[in-house]
Structure 1
Amino acid sequence: MALPGRTGRPASALAPTSHEAELRTAARLVSRRRFLTVTAAAAALAFSTGLPARGAFAAPRLDTARITEDPFTLGVASGDPLPDSVLIWTRLAPAPFTPDGGLGQQRVEVAWEVALDASFALVVRTGTALAHPEYAHSVRVDVRGLAPATTYHYRFRTGAWISPPGRTRTAPAAGDDVTRLRLAAVACQAYHDGYYTVHRHLAREDVDVVFHLGDYLYEYAVDSAGGARGYTDRVLPSVFNRETATLADYRMRYALYKSDPDLRAAHAAHPFVVTWDDHETENNYAAEHDENGSDPALFLARRAAAYRAYWENQPLRAGQLPDGPDAQLYRRLHWGTLAQFDVLDTRQYRSDQAYDDNPHVPGPESDDPARTLTGDAQERWLLDGWASSAALWNVMPQQVCFSQRRLDLNAEAKLSMDSWDGYRASRGRLVAGAKAAGVDNWLVLTGDVHVAYAFDIKDDFDDPASATVGTELTCTSVASGRDGTERPANWDTYMKANPHLRFYDGRRGYLRVELNRENARADFRTVSAVTTPGAEVSTAASFVTEAGAPGPTPV
């Protein structure tokens, strides 16, 4: 979530000289990688593009009998289900809070198996993979030859150790007239703001797939007590009490987050489709610009490290492997003819925020038609995908608020410059493109703001009588913002200033959506607290969007 202005940094902000030598060395390599077409220059950026060496130069292979501590401390995950395949993931880390995870620079052989039953009596696929030190001993297997619309169970083994089991599901066959899909959406899980009670409940939900809409990780320091968690039975290492900047920092921060049993349970229960927002790298960054106006070469070095660690720690295919500070994260998935999912990346390609990223009345700087939130290539990809879509529901999982949010009751109200409100021409092109493509059932899923919203997407947000062209649902946060309240202090202002805003709740939780041939039902699931564990979950509100009649209606 955007902080107020480019200068708004927490007390844990990165000291100006922290890791400076390492970042400057990496920045020189990034600059060479980006502006020279020399193979050696690309290979030199080892910390962010280093591929496992082959032959005589490969890392030695570890005798797995020598692994004396559980290497599966970070759990298992699956993701991006296709009709005939799903990606399964784990990362070996017997000492997860150390830079090398406790396995040094050796390769480790890992066996995997996929079965039709939880007891693994009906195994349908097996194999082995190597966990390379260059990839932080992460393991990903694109398991192919599976049956469509089928639930599977999977696990890994190395030496005497067997991972926890995971459950996943393939997508229906292309062209299959599916009658139902249940999905969940989550975002924003600042470890230091509270427990992952939301994930504990999500793990028990009957859903086909989970969309994580960003801020999986926060770069801010976490103190020895775990921030708002207030640990009294453990002390976190001091390595976490600084802002992430280097590859080792990001890798260990993922280890901290994935040490949480509730997050591991959610991953083990459902396939995830993930996309990042800003905090996986740095608050409110835009393309090559960080929030403090640093040298872009220095920031690109940091971005390369962040992107690399993200890929290593998520169930993503090889096509999302970063090339230095660049990675194509936007991608398209289908659920038969019922739904097309266009997963966006609204950070990597965006124009820098207008008006120094402070809330501002729209003006020439923010409304410049050349400004973009997606970049030209992603925008064309999205519009072309809509034009060729045969799906009943076109779902756009993405990061920041798409619908207009007037932040006050003034005639010329301020808007957020970090959301689509700061890129109104870019938003306008998508609205026009959806209309031109005949997208009748457009559903936008959003994270970032740490609150739950339901919006009518309007053809003209300044004219409440204009046509409603879609529905936007924001999923609130898993932990970010701490406990929250049902009606935040600005509730009355926002509801009066934005007549297209149909629902607003400030508590932690997740979004559950059921799509069928007649409608989309959204349930806003919330918990009362995350600063203490154990809160129960309840449904704060439910809305239905009828097929062919966009906009959420309360039920």
Structure 2
Amino acid sequence: MSQAVPSPAVLRRDVAPARSSMTPTSQGSSPMSVSRRSFLAAAGAAAGAAVTDFAAAAPAAAVTFASNPFQLGSASGDPTEDSVILWTRLAPEPTATDFGMAGAPSSISVHWRVATTHEGATSDATSLYDGDVTVTATDCWSAHVDVKTAPGGGPLQAGTTYYFRFAVDGFETWVGTTRTRPAPDADVIASFAVISCQSYATELTGTSYWPGYTHLEQNPMDFVLHLGDYIYESSHANTIPAEIPGDPTTDACRSITDYRRRWGAYLERDNIQRVRRTQPMFYVPDDHEFINDVHGGEVADRTQGVIDRWNNALRALWENMPTRSARPVVEPGTTRLVAEVERTDIRWGRHLDLIVPDMRQYRTRFDHATPTLFGVAQRNRVLNRIATASATWTALGVVSPITSYRISATDPRVAGTWNTYAERGLVTDAIAARRASDPDFSPVFLAGDVHCGYASRVARDQDVPEQDHVATEFSVPSMSSYGTASGGTGRTSWPDRRAGNPTLLSYIGIPASPNEDDGSGYAKCQPYKGYLRCAAGPDYFYTNYITATNVWQSTSVATSRKKLRVTRGAIGALPY
């Protein structure tokens, strides 16, 4: 199911091809200014202000770039049976305060094309569809193209691979690969990767090399499911290295420029670009795209400074992801932005129904007057989907595990994000009711957040985790983020948790003794890092944990560490 692939020796931008003669160069335009003052005066002034006002786009203008503007590559996401979202963003210097766009017009026309072959995507004459999209300074020159509805576009065929490309001023992206969802009755294996929690840096060397991404780029899947913490907004050395100019480790993201630069730092990396370019994604955010431990459902009640920071974060998120969501809008009656997209009804052929609720935008605290993880409307959609899903497997992609587990062998408290919310009981009761009427109903949870891979049974009653199980859960290892370490005041190690929860099925790659000890505390007994490969078929749900022993060495290699499968209609996982 996988092969070992070495990480690159150096981290570099996956630079797009040089200027091409296939795309006409704009005529009559002036080269972009070396000075950035004009841009900062015109567009950057809004960076520190509240971002609830979106200016109308000016007519697209011709532009000449002095260097390749596609430093962040391209991506695709939220595929349907007849369309997909194509994304790119113009940023010759992604981490500069003006992104290398000084002197650029406020609106620029970017060309795109889609084809049924790789070669077809290199020319309009051989493409299936092609058109132009206007990108604006307001949206940080990001493009979101819905192939079916965009001017020049049209419907795609279900279960089909397509190739795409963007071009501007003679520069072009590499040809990307995407695919549409299969028809609901298509008898195909649904193969996909699950990722979460990818810090840019470590306290050991200042850089995470993401060997899991290197493995995935060489072993592609049908699609990628990302469960949040795509970036880290915080300031300590475990999330952003000091070498990014003007962005020292003491600075957490607050302004729109801060968040845009942080996204630029993450997305200019070569292995993540190649995965984004070659495999469509479904994505849901967690907290670090915004503010650590933020409860989005309460943001509107906080100070204007918190509201502005949330709005800045959400805008930058939308600008940098291939999401089907429309541009963020102001929530009625508040000054908070929201960006809604429906991901509770994803169907991938006959064998997979995928439910991916947003557990961050609507969440309130457990002691709130109306505590919720999902919000009422989304909660109802999730429960309805559990009741009506008809594929062989129903997988719920959640940003935090639903499994209840004890803190340690000597601490009987039960931990878990879900445990103080009504949604936990509502979801497990709905699954239990469905299984009572349909013994073949096969639910699986896929969870992020905790930076450790493990397999478990989900108990219906959170206070009695040893019995009355209703589903199987696979917790995804972090791609690179560090987890709870042994040692240090008030810390509980994952080995302690393993000892306190003998009924859990399997812990993946947790060393019994320190394997990364540099004296910092964070580097002791760390769970291995990587991602989870899944395959949903007619009889089994297969998982394959791809992990590396460390992420701070450029030579680190991600390999298969544990393979587990669930039998249709059963609860629990066994090795294969």
Structure 1 length normalisation: TM-score? 0.81
Identity of aligned residues (%): 29
Deviations 1:218-274 (A, max 9, x none): 0123779963xx8xxxx4211354100111111111011111111111111211111
Question: Aligned in 2, Cα 1:484/1:541: closer, same or farther, shift over 3 Å?
Answer: farther
Contact kept in structure 2, 1:330 and 1:342, CA below 8 Å: no
CA distance in 1, matches of 2:424, 2:84: 33
1:247 equivalent to 2:256? Answer yes
1:316 equivalent to 2:323? Answer yes
Deviations 1:32-63 (A, max 9, x none): xxxxxxxxxxxxxxx2451533xxxx2x5332
Matches within 5 A, 1:392-403: 392-403=392-403
Question: Aligned in 2, Cα 1:148/1:409: closer, same or farther, shift over 3 Å?
Answer: same
Question: Aligned in 2, Cα 1:465/1:188: closer, same or farther, shift over 3 Å?
Answer: closer
1:495 equivalent to 2:494? Answer no
Displacement, 1:25? Answer: 5.8
Q: Please point out which of 311, 316, 322 is paired with 1:304.
A: 311
More helix by share: 1
Q: Which amino acid aligns with 1:431?
A: T
CA distance in 1, matches of 2:448, 2:66: 41
SS at match of 1:221: coil
Contact kept in structure 1, 2:408 and 2:501, CA below 8 Å: no
Q: Which amino acid aligns with 1:381?
A: R
Match of 2:476 in 1: 475
Q: Which stretches in structure 1 are left out of the alignment for 5+ residues?
A: 1-20, 27-46, 355-364
Contact kept in structure 2, 1:146 and 1:170, CA below 8 Å: yes
Match of 2:141 in 1: 137
1:238 equivalent to 2:241? Answer no
Q: Please point out which of 287, 301, 304 is paired with 2:296.
A: 287
CA distance in 1, matches of 2:88, 2:68: 13
Displacement, 1:296? Answer: 3.8
CA distance in 1, matches of 2:423, 2:305: 28
SS at match of 1:406: strand
Matches within 5 A, 1:354-393: 371-393=371-393
Deviations 1:121-170 (A, max 9, x none): 65211111111111110011111211111111111010110112211111
Deviations 1:52-81 (A, max 9, x none): 33xxxx2x53323x1121010001100011
CA distance in 2, matches of 1:129, 1:320: 15
Match of 2:114 in 1: 114
Match of 2:60 in 1: 61
Displacement, 1:426? Answer: 2.2
Deviations 1:267-326 (A, max 9, x none): 112111111000000111112557xx9944321221111111101100002446443422
Matches within 5 A, 1:342-491: 342-353=355-366, 371-410=371-410, 412-416=412-416, 419-423=417-421, 425-438=422-435, 440-463=441-464, 466-481=467-482, 490-491=493-494
Match of 1:179 in 2: 188
Match of 2:35 in 1: none
CA distance in 2, matches of 1:449, 1:552: 20
Contact kept in structure 2, 1:403 and 1:421, CA below 8 Å: no
Matches within 5 A, 1:59-98: 61-64=60-63, 66-98=64-96
CA distance in 1, matches of 2:442, 2:467: 17
SS at match of 1:85: coil
Contact kept in structure 2, 1:484 and 1:507, CA below 8 Å: no
CA distance in 2, matches of 1:532, 1:493: 27
SS at match of 1:239: coil
SS at match of 1:298: helix
Displacement, 1:513? Answer: 0.5
Q: Which amino acid aligns with 2:54?
A: G
CA distance in 1, matches of 2:315, 2:273: 21
Contact kept in structure 2, 1:81 and 1:87, CA below 8 Å: yes
Q: CA RMSD in A?
A: 2.8
CA distance in 2, matches of 1:322, 1:454: 38
Question: Aligned in 2, Cα 1:131/1:456: closer, same or farther, shift over 3 Å?
Answer: same
Q: Please point out which of 235, 238, 254 is paired with 1:221.
A: 235
CA distance in 2, matches of 1:150, 1:340: 19
Question: Aligned in 2, Cα 1:52/1:441: closer, same or farther, shift over 3 Å?
Answer: farther
Q: How many residues align?
A: 482
Question: Aligned in 2, Cα 1:301/1:489: closer, same or farther, shift over 3 Å?
Answer: closer
CA distance in 2, matches of 1:394, 1:504: 23
Q: Which amino acid aligns with 2:210?
A: Y
CA distance in 2, matches of 1:527, 1:87: 32
1:204 equivalent to 2:204? Answer no
SS at match of 1:472: strand
CA distance in 2, matches of 1:391, 1:51: 44
Matches within 5 A, 1:324-335: 324-331=336-343, 332-335=345-348
Contact kept in structure 2, 1:166 and 1:269, CA below 8 Å: yes
1:515 equivalent to 2:536? Answer yes
Matches within 5 A, 1:155-194: 155-174=165-184, 176-193=185-202, 194=208
Displacement, 1:521? Answer: 0.6
Q: Which amino acid aligns with 2:568?
A: A
CA distance in 1, matches of 2:467, 2:236: 47
Q: Which amino acid aligns with 2:500?
A: A
CA distance in 2, matches of 1:247, 1:464: 43
Q: Which amino acid aligns with 1:123?
A: S
Contact kept in structure 2, 1:415 and 1:422, CA below 8 Å: no
Q: Which amino acid aligns with 1:150?
A: T
